[in-house]
Amino acid sequence: MTTPSDTLLRKILRESKTFACVGVSPNPVRPSHYVARYLKVKGFRVIPVNPGHIGKEMFGATVVGALSDIQEPVDVVDIFRRPEAVPAIVNEALAHLPGLRTIWMQIGVEHAEAAAKAEAAGVQVIQNRCPKIEYQRLFGELRMGGFNTGIISSKL
């Protein structure tokens, strides 16, 4: 796995409009929840994907059970699942999301074979990174001098 350049990360975050967040949780203390919420606050369209919460409302959208249930363009599939789940997610994304530009695997999530398959299909892959952290770092939003919990003020 190669480390993505800041230029590439900035490009993805500037050009992407819609994130499908696979494995997102309705529990506000879970990283998948506050990352997806942050993305929504920053102006991205967030499509929550979690088969255990189909039909619920999160981030202004209805939770779908699978990527194949999405009927609109998706720029980034953001994966909040264990590495062993990644190949099936990548296969589904490649089969059902025409125009997909990026597969983004969260911190602690890497899968070399699935990444290679996505890249061979022309999809950019980011592994073991968080778009929230990268957005804050690249666009000057990191809070200095304290612990950054990722919880967003309701004043935003």
For residue range 114-128, list pLDDT tens digits in order.
Answer: 999 999 999 999 999
Classified as helix, coil or strand, 100 is coil
CATH of domain 6-138: 3.40.50.720
Helices 131-138 and 6-15 pack at an angle, to 10 degrees, of 110
Average pLDDT, integer, range 24-41: 97
Residue 67 predicted with pLDDT over 70:
yes
Q: What is the pLDDT of residue 144?
A: 54
The model's pTM: 0.89
Tokens 């919420």 found at: 37
Q: What is the pLDDT of residue 39?
A: 98
Q: Which long-range contacts (CB under 8 A, 24 or more apart) does 95-98 make?
A: 95/68, 96/67, 96/68, 96/70, 97/20, 97/67, 97/70, 97/73, 98/73
